[in-house]
């Protein structure tokens, strides 16, 4: 999935998070299943320590998902900020990611310009998602094989090679007796 934000949506997110620079800001991304964001919904950070974590109230989640579904849309993901950090999921982000199909967009405010990155977090495994910011449709890129695929292909090639060697050795005729 490519997460696609228009320039204006990206600006809305950055502006919201900048206003809350004293803590982590957060919100929801509603869109179509192909990854196009239709609506950005800023939410309140209800975490106990909002300087270090973010949490969206359960009822906000339920209301947003219900209203999205009414419009034939879905919860595409979440966004939050790292007010002084990079847009890389923290160990808490990974531990608390309960939506395996969601995109986790992070805006990092370390450095001169805010940096955006999108992630998928499945069973504590983090994978970077392609993020497209712009008003034109993203060009679908063939991302090729994933790391796991490549590994599986290499392993099976090694197995096939070893098997072939073993097989050809076992098929060799017995060595002639040296007179
Ligand atoms: Zn975080």
Co-location of 82 and 20 in the same domain: yes
Domains of the chain: total: 2
- Angle (CA) 46-49-55 rounded to 5° is 35
For residue 165, report the distance from its CA to the centre of ligand 1, in Å.
51
Q: Is residue 167 part of a domain?
A: yes
Co-location of 105 and 146 in the same domain: no
When pLDDT is cut at 50, 70 and 90, the band that residue 141 belongs to is low
Domain with 116, as residue range(s), is: 2-133
Co-location of 116 and 164 in the same domain: no
C-alpha distances in Å from residue 101, one per residue of 120, 129, 141, 159 = 7, 11, 20, 34
Co-location of 6 and 82 in the same domain: yes
> In CATH, what number is assigned to the domain containing residue 110?
3.40.140.10
Co-location of 124 and 169 in the same domain: no
For residue 164, report the distance from its CA to the centre of ligand 1, in Å.
50
Co-location of 166 and 121 in the same domain: no
Co-location of 163 and 98 in the same domain: no
For residue 127, report the distance from its CA to the centre of ligand 1, in Å.
15
What distance in Å separates the CA atoms of residue 46 and residue 44, rounded to the nearest whole number?
A: 6
Q: Is residue 72 part of a domain?
A: yes
Co-location of 76 and 162 in the same domain: no
For residue 81, report the distance from its CA to the centre of ligand 1, in Å.
6
For residue 104, report the distance from its CA to the centre of ligand 1, in Å.
9
Q: Is residue 178 part of a domain?
A: no
Token pair for residue 167?
């097989």
pLDDT in tens, 66-123: 999 999 999 999 999 999 999 999 999 999 999 999 999 999 999 999 999 999 999 9
Exposed/middle/buried for 103, CB within 10 Å: 0-12, 13-18, 19+?
Answer: buried
Q: Is residue 179 part of a domain?
A: no
List phi, psi (to 5°) of 105: -90, 130
Co-location of 117 and 151 in the same domain: no
pLDDT at 155: 84
pLDDT in tens, 154-165: 888 888 888 888
- 3-state helix, strand and coil shares in percent for the chain, rounded to the nearest 5: 30, 30, 40
pTM of the model: 0.77
């Amino acid at each position: 999935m490519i997460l696609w934000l228009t320039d204006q949506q990206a600006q809305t997110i950055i502006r919201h998070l900048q206003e809350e620079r004293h803590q982590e800001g957060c919100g929801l991304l509603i869109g179509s299943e192909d990854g196009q964001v239709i609506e950005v919904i800023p939410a309140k950070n209800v975490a106990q320590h909002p300087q270090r974590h973010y949490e969206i109230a359960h009822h906000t989640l339920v209301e947003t998902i219900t209203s999205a579904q009414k419009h034939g849309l879905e919860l595409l993901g979440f966004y939050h900020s790292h007010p002084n950090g990079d847009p890389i999921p923290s160990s808490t982000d990974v531990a608390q990611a309960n939506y395996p199909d969601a995109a986790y967009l992070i805006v990092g405010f370390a450095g001169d310009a805010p940096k955006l990155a999108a992630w998928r977090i499945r069973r504590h495994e983090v994978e970077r998602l392609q993020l497209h910011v712009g008003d034109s449709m993203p060009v679908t890129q063939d991302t090729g094989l994933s790391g796991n695929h490549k590994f599986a292909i290499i392993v099976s090639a090694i197995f096939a090679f070893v098997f072939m060697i073993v097989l050809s050795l076992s098929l060799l005729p017995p060595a002639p007796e040296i007179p």
